[in-house]
Amino acid sequence: MLNLSKKILVAIDGSPQSDKAAEEAVRMATDNRSPFKSRIYAMLILPNAPTATYTDFVPSTPVTETATWDELRQRIFYVIEKCASENEVPLEMIVEYGEPVDKLLEFAKREEVDVIVIGSSGKGFIQRRLKGSVSHKVATSAPCSVYIVRG
């Protein structure tokens, strides 16, 4: 069996489900017995910045430009950074603004990712019907394999 390096994209949001997905992504990368190291891309997708209205004279600052961003970033990426460094897996952290499904799929296609690892919140039927499921949308539209981790 040919076992080359893999490009693994993991969706991160600081939730227990995304922490578990991060651990699984590192496990996938370290299980690769190839001399070529797998690479993990950890992606945090923030909602679009609110648009200014006529009553807003000063638009709000994006969260990545606030004084508390460094602390928030460390908490969100803590598990993936720790696991990747302990296992010597190359890691690239990415922060994007927009719709999670769109951003994950765009990145996966552009970087020719081999697998997307994403946590599932386990929402009930009604919430899933009202809001939709990011993991389901990614799984049905991804240009690569998708590994859904249940919390």
Q: Are 118 and 148 in contact (CB under 8 A)?
A: yes
pLDDT of 69 reads: 78
Residue 126 banded pLDDT, cuts 50, 70, 90: very low
User: Structural domains in the chain?
Assistant: 7-150 (3.40.50.620)
The arithmetic mean of pLDDT across residues 34-51, rounded, is: 81
Alpha carbon 139 to its chain's center: 14
Query: Mean pLDDT in the chain?
Result: 83
pLDDT of 51 reads: 55
Percent above pLDDT 90 for the chain: 53
86-112 pLDDT, tens digit each: 999 999 999 999 999 999 999 999 999
CA 5/CA 61 separation, integer angstroms: 39
Write down the pTM of the prediction: 0.82
